[in-house]
């Protein structure tokens, strides 16, 4: 913990978030559900889409970008595929609903796909990967966003960060990959800049078009680096195309024309592994893969972890010691409850 941060018990954070959302007009159930998402993201160390993001969530409610009374409506269904309209409701609540719906479809059909149009930011996509994997499902999901990243070889932004989530059960927990299409999300750049820290590897370009590890320079240029250079740019494009096509919702270029990021398109896919002929062997197969993975020879005593493993370690630490929060962020959050 640095002198810029304080530690907040998870129960206190949850209580404060809930109180603030009740003041914004949420029902007790919806307030608690949303507060749970923001608190759990913070417990898991994803502060950029937890406590740090909470004030903006409230701001978007106050500006009318998020309709707290809206619920998703089913537009179309064929077999294991459903298309829903999120009606600009709270993104986390719509995403939880979509995840529950796609798990029900997977139980019926073996595999399900829920495509959600006209929704709001889901915060941490991994939330829904954990939700589905802990319930015993394989999960694949993604969202599009406003244009935040240049196509490879360009200087203007045409691509969304379009986070991709893949998850499956493992032992009593889960393996969860949750990644933006840029080397660092804008939330991560904002946090590093706030702490005056350099990035471990190149994160984008400065205003002169040079690769840099300075988060402030990347925020100024608004030119983050796609993961895998041109490969990440191509993946971002296809995730946007599929999100728009499957949901019947807006693609990145149309979302970008709005006054803020809203009415995004999302896809949720679940597979019920109980329906597979090899079901009985799956747990051992995954165990063998992870055992071999952990036998990697580390460089400079680095820790070898699978996606989601460090989250489990952070979760345990933050539950025991409290959640580290930047002082200014916590001051801003508390002001919302005045």
Which active-site residues does the annotation give? 49
Distance CA 66, CA 49 (A): 16
Q: Tell me which residue of 56, 86, 129 sits closest to 307, measured CA to CA.
A: 129
Q: Tell me which residue of 63, 62, 138, 60 sits closest to 92, measured CA to CA.
A: 60
Q: Tell me which residue of 128, 111, 142 sits closest to 271, measured CA to CA.
A: 111
At how many degrees (to 10) do helices 28-43 and 91-109 cross? 90
Tokens 């319930």 found at? 135
3-class SS of residue 112 = strand
Q: Which residues pair with 325 in a beta bridge?
A: 6
Contact call for residues 91 and 122 (beta carbons, < 8 A): yes
Q: Which residues pair with 78 in a beta bridge?
A: 81
CA torsion 189-328-88-101 (nearest 10°) is 80
How would you list the strands of the sheet with 164-170, edge to edge?
Answer: 73-78, 81-85, 111-119, 264-272, 137-143, 164-170, 173-179
Distance CA 328, CA 338 (A): 16
């Amino acid at each position: 913990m640095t002198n810029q941060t304080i530690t907040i018990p998870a129960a206190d954070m949850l209580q404060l978030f809930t109180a603030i959302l009740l003041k914004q007009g949420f029902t007790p159930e919806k307030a608690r559900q949303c507060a749970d998402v923001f608190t759990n993201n913070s417990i898991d160390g994803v502060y950029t889409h937890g406590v740090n993001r909470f004030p903006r969530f409230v701001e978007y409610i106050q500006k009318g970008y998020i309709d707290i009374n809206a619920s998703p409506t089913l537009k179309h269904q064929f077999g294991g595929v459903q298309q829903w309209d999120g009606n600009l409701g709270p993104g986390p609540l719509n995403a939880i609903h979509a995840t529950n719906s796609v798990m029900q479809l997977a139980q019926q059909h073996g595999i399900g796909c829920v495509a959600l149009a006209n929704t709001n930011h889901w915060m941490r996509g991994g939330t829904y990967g954990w939700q589905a994997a802990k319930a015993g499902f394989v999960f694949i999901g993604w969202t599009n966003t406003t244009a935040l990243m240049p196509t490879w070889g360009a200087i203007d932004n045409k691509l969304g960060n379009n986070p991709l989530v893949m998850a499956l059960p493992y032992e009593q927990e889960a393996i969860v990959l949750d990644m933006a299409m840029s080397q660092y999300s804008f939330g991560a750049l904002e946090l590093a800049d706030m702490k005056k820290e350099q990035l471990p590897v190149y994160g984008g370009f400065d205003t002169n078009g040079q690769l840099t590890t300075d988060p402030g320079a990347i925020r100024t240029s608004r030119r983050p680096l796609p993961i895998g250079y041109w490969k990440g740019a191509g993946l971002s494009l296809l995730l946007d195309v599929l999100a728009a096509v499957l949901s019947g919702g807006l693609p990145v270029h149309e979302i970008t024309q709005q006054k803020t990021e809203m009415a995004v398109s999302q896809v949720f896919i679940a597979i019920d592994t109980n329906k597979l002929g090899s079901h009985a062997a799956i747990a051992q197969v995954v165990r063998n893969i992870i055992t071999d993975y952990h036998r990697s020879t580390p460089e400079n005593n680095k820790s070898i972890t699978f996606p989601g493993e460090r989250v489990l370690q952070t979760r345990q630490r933050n539950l025991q010691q409290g959640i580290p929060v930047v002082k200014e962020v916590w001051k801003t959050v508390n002001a919302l409850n005045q």
